């Protein structure tokens, strides 16, 4: 007999995952649909939260009992796989999940192999396709594609279905984000990120199909998508406001915990590393990586993967390979300053890392290839960079009675601190007014001004005059 939800909730999560794994083996192609979102049996078995496991196991057992008269799956009971068959459980309430066993991709599913995407990417792709391709008679929702066709058929500039689409998109995206959160309530920043990614995917569909659509006067599928993207951004305005307030509070709290530091010994160490590169061995790659991160202000994965550096003069290089931009376009190259006036040595050190086979270089100059290579490099190098940073912590003296540990005992002297030291050191040597300094930090970090300000909040360089005396100023 199928167990009730209350009964399943008494089981520990570990036991529920065992049941979910058995469920997956019985029908690996099983897909659960809940609140308009699809959950594969594999996801439930490997990453499902307890409430998800409870819901889907309960529904699965109920379906087995109803359609196949199969005994309830019990812990440690081996189940002989049955031939794959299509099953469907229609929910009486919209809030209840339904189960669909799939062997063929539906029209709204991605036709490319699933393993081309990560699980999260695939889920968001499906969500984007639903908002783009849904038909009113099939999905009780007019997707963007059908909406454009109806505009042309009825020769109108606007239809009420547009407002319904925006409202449903808000609900679906927020529900998906909350379902992915272990706490059941996603951070506003995460919700906004998913909104951007889903809308971007829809934009890719529009770009692919734009020549196939009719237009009504100046209303084509591209302009309809722009209106959709703008309206969706407006629909999440309250989430954006919450995100802003949370970030503001976080910044204010960080400013109360500023560490006054002296960094000249750290810069001198990095200078010595790159200038003695020919005397170093492959085992020294971690020191070389940290030295370049400090002298250039680039992220670990930019130094160890995507970054390209070309000498301009002793104090500047042209840098390309920027990461962390919410765009599919490759960020344009930019001239950036180099601390300690050792641009030639920095480029030689990058070449040495390549010679040692320590960098994961992208196979091509596309956003996707750059991001994939950076991810591989991060997985490969992060632990070793963190260990090296801990050893170098003694080179940066904190002068205002604080330490490099927060109230929870967490060490804050990690790889990202090199980017903060670089940004603050350069800005203090630049010596512009506040407005010009913010613009300067934004330019040398290749970040927007709001993001760049994060690098100017946790620390305060106290020996800028000594640095300038030894190396001179920077800037334009």
Note the pLDDT tens digit of each residue in 184-233. 888 888 898 899 999 999 999 999 988 888 787 878 899 999 999 999 99
- CB-hemisphere CA count at 13 Å for 230? 6
Q: Residue 471 — pLDDT band, cuts 50, 70, 90?
A: very high
Residues of the chain with CATH 1.10.443.30: 259-471
How confident is the model at residue 407, as a pLDDT? 78
Contact 337, 315 (CB under 8 A): yes
Spatial separation of the C-alpha atoms in residues 272 and 266, rounded to whole Å: 10
Each residue's pLDDT tens digit, 252-290: 666 667 899 999 999 999 999 999 999 999 999 999 999
pLDDT confidence band for 82 (50 / 70 / 90): very low
Say if residues 425 and 336 touch (Cβ distance below 8 Å). no
Residue 358 CA, distance from chain mean position: 24
- φ, ψ dihedrals at 313, nearest 5°: -155, -170
Mean pLDDT of the chain: 80
Nearest 10 degrees: Cα torsion 176, 182, 187, 193: -50
Residue 99 has pLDDT above 50, yes or no: no
* pLDDT over 80 at 95, yes or no: no
CATH fold, domain 259-471, is hpI Integrase; Chain A (1.10.443)
> What is the reported pLDDT for 40?
72
Q: Is the pLDDT of residue 41 over 80?
A: no
Residue 23: closest CA among 10, 41, 9, 36: 41
More confident residue, 476 or 198: 198
* Alpha-carbon dihedral sign for residues 377, 361, 275, 259: negative
More confident residue, 112 or 67: 67
pLDDT at 237: 87
pLDDT digits (tens, 9 = 90+) for 299-327: 999 999 999 999 999 999 999 988 865 44
Helix (H), strand (E), coil (C) string for 72-98:
CCCCCCCCCCCCCCCCECCCCCCCCCE
pLDDT at 215: 80
> What is the model's pLDDT at position 284?
97
Beta strands 459-461 and 259-262 are parallel
């Amino acid at each position: 007999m199928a167990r009730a939800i209350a009964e399943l909730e008494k089981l520990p999560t570990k036991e529920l995952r065992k049941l979910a794994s058995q469920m997956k083996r019985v029908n690996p192609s099983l897909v659960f649909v809940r609140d308009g979102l699809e959950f594969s049996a594999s996801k439930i078995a490997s990453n499902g939260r307890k409430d998800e496991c409870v819901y889907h196991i309960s529904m699965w057992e109920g379906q087995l009992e109803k359609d196949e008269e199969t005994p309830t799956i019990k812990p440690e009971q081996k189940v002989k796989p049955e031939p794959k068959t299509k099953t469907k459980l229609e929910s009486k309430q919209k809030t209840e999940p339904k189960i669909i066993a799939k062997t063929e991709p539906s029209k709204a599913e991605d036709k490319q192999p699933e393993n081309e995407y990560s699980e999260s990417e695939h889920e968001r792709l499906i969500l984007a396709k639903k908002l783009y391709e849904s038909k009113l008679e099939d999905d009780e929702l007019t997707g963007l594609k059908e909406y454009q066709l109806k505009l042309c058929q009825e020769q109108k500039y606007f239809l009420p279905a547009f407002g319904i689409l925006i409202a449903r998109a808000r609900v679906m995206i927020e529900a998906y984000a909350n379902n992915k959160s272990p706490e059941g309530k996603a951070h506003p920043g995460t919700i906004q990120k998913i909104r951007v990614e889903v809308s971007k995917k829809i934009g890719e569909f529009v770009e692919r199909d734009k020549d196939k659509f009719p237009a009504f006067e100046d209303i084509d599928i591209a302009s309809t998508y722009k209106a959709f993207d703008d309206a969706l951004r407006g629909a999440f305005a309250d989430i954006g406001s919450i995100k802003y307030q949370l970030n503001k509070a976080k910044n204010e709290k960080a400013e109360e915990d500023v560490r006054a530091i002296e960094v000249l010994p750290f810069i001198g160490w990095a200078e010595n590393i790159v200038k003695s590169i020919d005397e170093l061995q492959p085992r020294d790659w971690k020191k070389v990586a940290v030295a370049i991160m400090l002298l250039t202000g680039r992220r670990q994965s930019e130094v160890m993967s995507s970054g390209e550096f070309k000498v301009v003069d002793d104090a500047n290089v042209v840098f390309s390979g920027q990461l962390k931009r919410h765009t599919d376009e490759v960020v344009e190259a930019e001239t950036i300053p180099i601390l300690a006036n050792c641009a030639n040595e920095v480029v030689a050190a990058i070449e040495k890392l390549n010679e040692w086979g320590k960098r994961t270089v992208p196979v091509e100059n596309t956003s996707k290839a750059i991001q994939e290579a950076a991810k591989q490099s991060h997985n490969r190098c992060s632990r070793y960079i963190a260990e090296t940073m801990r050893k170098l912590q003694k080179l940066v003296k904190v002068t205002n009675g604080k330490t490099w540990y927060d109230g929870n005992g967490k060490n804050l002297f990690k790889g990202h601190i090199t980017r903060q030291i670089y940004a603050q050191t350069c800005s203090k040597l630049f010596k512009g007014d506040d407005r010009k300094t913010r613009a300067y930090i934004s330019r040398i970090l290749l970040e927007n001004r709001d993001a760049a300000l994060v690098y100017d909040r946790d620390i305060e360089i106290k020996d800028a005059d000594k640095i300038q005396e030894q190396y001179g100023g920077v800037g334009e």
